[in-house]
Structure 1
Amino acid sequence: MSICDLDLSRSPNMAETEEARAASPPVQYATLEESNDFFATHVKTFEWRWRLFFEPLPVIPLLPRPISIGVQSCRDARYRCDGRFRFRENFAYFCYTLGGVGGFRYKDTEYRTTAGQGFLVQISDLNMSYYYPPESDETWSYFVCEFAGEAAMSMMNGLVQHYGPIFTLAPDTAILRRLMALAGPPYAIMHPHPVDASELTIELLLALAASGRAQEKNDAAMDLVKRAMQIIGETDGSELNVEELARRVGVSRERLSRVFRARLDRSPHQVILEQKIHDSCILLKDTTMTVKEISAKIGYSDYTNFIRVFRQVMQTTPNQFRRQGSVVRLGRFGLL
């Protein structure tokens, strides 16, 4: 999915339902006096390590454009920025943690961003605030990018609506390296051509979109594993093999195997086998069935093969396990 595929018609500031309004009074923007008082204290709670302002020449209003980038650091419990104090500003804000831990609230959810994670918001969004976590005792350092332009704001709204406000980027992501390479003296000013400035902003937004898409795929893979594991745990072992498991979860055998290898470092066959051994252990402890009967019940037509596999997994024979073993030991397989 590209940014062009996203529904950009809704804003993260969209109106709440009547029920939500009744449950909690709406947040209001601060007064001018409250805002001035806030900033008088706020500027004392952090420091800029470096900051670069962009002043494209000439200005083309609709083009995405960066306003400033830089690195801040903070170790002050008073540090907090709420959207309600930023009513005079209208730009997008991306804050990427370099070290330590940052606090971020969006709507009713609290987040902690560690190195490699960042949040994306409209700076005047009443639903958001970011802050130095009260439980932290280390310096929070973070890269910030402020950008504006009608197209950029629409893209930002679409990304947050579709993927949420939290994004993960590797430190060696090309656009991060490119922006960090612009570090210089505090409060420097750059006058790029508007097309070059727009390119920086769009490249960052595309990197965030790619991150969101990758996370979406990862979540889908984990859902697949959970569904498969539930089927394995609930199905009689004699009725299940990898082909049948893949059919039940609706993917090919090859895709199921790739996902299991990536997420569990084991094949579906190994997991099914371990579940069969788990089932046999319960039967050994809770019934008087013979080992041969148990072998047939869990799907082994070859009795000697069952004993070989059981010994390989449990490091003991079925009869020895019946006398001395404990089903609790199977917790090491990660299936229970």
Structure 2
Amino acid sequence: MEFRNVRKWQVHFEVLRPLGNLPVPEVVVEEIQHERRYRLDGRLRGDGGGQLSITIGGRGGIRIGGVDHELTPGRAFLHNHNDPEVCYYYPPDGTEPWNFLWMAFYGDTLCNLIAEINRTYGYLFDVPRNSALVERLFRYRQYRDEVLTLTPLEGGKLVFDVIHELCSPLEEELRKSPHSSLVSDVQNHVAGNLAERLDVATLANHFRVSREHLSRVFREQTGTPLHAYITRARLRLAVNLLLQTRLTSKEIAARCGYAEYSVFYRTFRKRIGFSPEELRRNRYHPSI
């Protein structure tokens, strides 16, 4: 099947001297499919890169992990081309053309990001026809059959902006969830009370939740165990005090919530790689 028979318009991108860690936009296309043989299976695709597809009219179909889903207007999917879990197609019982808008991009870092988004948010998204994202992509119609040249940062920003607009409604739901509110309250409490006793049991009691619930929610939302987060916050404060004040190491240990200097010293040296005195003497700024 020749592209010109199914693509209403397309715009290609070229990025000058692309940078390896930045995604590269490849093409934006509006396509119409009505052939029942149309089927793209990730298990059979050797090409790298990823794609965002948004149904504009008609109906398509997608199989994700063996489960079929309808792609009606306003439904979109994001995937890596060679994802073996994904197969999209024109429905065998379709009665009208499937009209969809899609954008392809590539880059190893981007493919890893797409895989992580699929694990976190899934493959399917709601993108209404009047959304800012659809309007953004349709603006490229004025450059039909042209090649747009971008700098590496322009290309990377375009791809990241598109993915951000796609995921932002879900991220807003995440931000407003009770779990996120709890984690934010805990983080603020830790930041303001580093000199006090801080452990999972104390914090759970303060926020009137169980230890198990607090530990699970905090790790789910941040990717870090709560006790590790507290230690990191204390060491970050210790480093700042060592570099910006004349307080002794023992005074700093106390301000960071360590009742015993020996515990502070061992923890500091293990995590930072220097003793407190060596860090101060060498003016070392570690990333914590």
Report if the CA contact (8 A) 1:45-1:76 is conserved: no
Structure 1 counterpart of 2:63, from 105, 108, 118: 105
Q: CA deviation at 1:150?
A: 2.7
**Residue in structure 2 matched with residue 64 of structure 1 by the alignment:** 23
Task: Tell me how many residue pairs correspond in the alignment.
Answer: 179
Tell me if 1:75 matches 2:41: no
Q: CA deviation at 1:179?
A: 2.1
- For 2:4 and 2:169, the matched residues in 1 are separated by 31
Structure 2 counterpart of 1:93, from 51, 60, 66: 51
**Residue in structure 2 matched with residue 209 of structure 1 by the alignment:** 167
Helix, strand or coil for the counterpart of 1:205?
helix
The one-character-per-residue Cα deviations of 1:266-289 (angstroms, maximum 9, x if unpaired) are xxxxxxxxxxxxxxxxxxxxxxxx
Helix, strand or coil for the counterpart of 2:104?
strand
The one-character-per-residue Cα deviations of 1:284-327 (angstroms, maximum 9, x if unpaired) are xxxxxxxxxxxxxxxxxxxxxxxxxxxxxxxxxxxxxxxxxxxx
Tell me if 1:152 matches 2:107: no
Structure 1, unmatched stretches of 5+, are 1-41, 221-249, 251-336
Q: CA deviation at 1:187?
A: 3.5
Question: In terms of Rg, which structure is larger?
Answer: 1
Q: CA deviation at 1:73?
A: 0.2
Helix, strand or coil for the counterpart of 1:154?
helix
Helix, strand or coil for the counterpart of 1:66?
strand
Helix, strand or coil for the counterpart of 1:135?
coil
**Residue in structure 1 matched with residue 193 of structure 2 by the alignment:** none
- For 1:135 and 1:185, the matched residues in 2 are separated by 35
Structure 1 counterpart of 2:135, from 171, 177, 196: 177
Letter in 1 for 2:11: L
**Residue in structure 2 matched with residue 136 of structure 1 by the alignment:** 94
Q: CA deviation at 1:92?
A: 0.7
Helix, strand or coil for the counterpart of 2:22?
coil
Instruction: Spell out the pairing of 1:29-48 with structure 2 (5 A cutoff).
Output: 42-43=1-2, 47-48=6-7
The one-character-per-residue Cα deviations of 1:185-241 (angstroms, maximum 9, x if unpaired) are 653211112211111110111122223335779999xxxxxxxxxxxxxxxxxxxxx
**Residue in structure 2 matched with residue 166 of structure 1 by the alignment:** 124
- For 2:106 and 2:3, the matched residues in 1 are separated by 26
**Residue in structure 2 matched with residue 127 of structure 1 by the alignment:** 85
Report if the CA contact (8 A) 1:86-1:124 is conserved: yes
Q: 1:119 to 1:45 in 2, by over 3 A?
A: farther
**Residue in structure 2 matched with residue 50 of structure 1 by the alignment:** 9
Q: Percent identity?
A: 24
- For 1:217 and 1:108, the matched residues in 2 are separated by 31
Helix, strand or coil for the counterpart of 2:83?
coil
Letter in 2 for 1:58: R
Letter in 1 for 2:6: E
TM-score (norm 2): 0.57
The one-character-per-residue Cα deviations of 1:101-136 (angstroms, maximum 9, x if unpaired) are 110011121111111111111111122111001122
Report if the CA contact (8 A) 1:167-1:211 is conserved: no
- For 2:25 and 2:133, the matched residues in 1 are separated by 13
Helix, strand or coil for the counterpart of 2:160?
helix
Helix, strand or coil for the counterpart of 1:183?
helix
Q: CA deviation at 1:72?
A: 0.4
Instruction: Spell out the pairing of 1:178-327 with structure 2 (5 A cutoff).
Output: 178-184=136-142, 186-213=144-171
Structure 2 counterpart of 1:114, from 72, 97, 104: 72
- For 2:23 and 2:45, the matched residues in 1 are separated by 20
Report if the CA contact (8 A) 2:73-2:128 is conserved: no
Q: CA deviation at 1:45?
A: 11
Q: CA deviation at 1:67?
A: 0.8
The one-character-per-residue Cα deviations of 1:158-195 (angstroms, maximum 9, x if unpaired) are 11101110011233333332221011465321111221
Q: CA deviation at 1:94?
A: 0.9
Q: CA deviation at 1:83?
A: 1.3
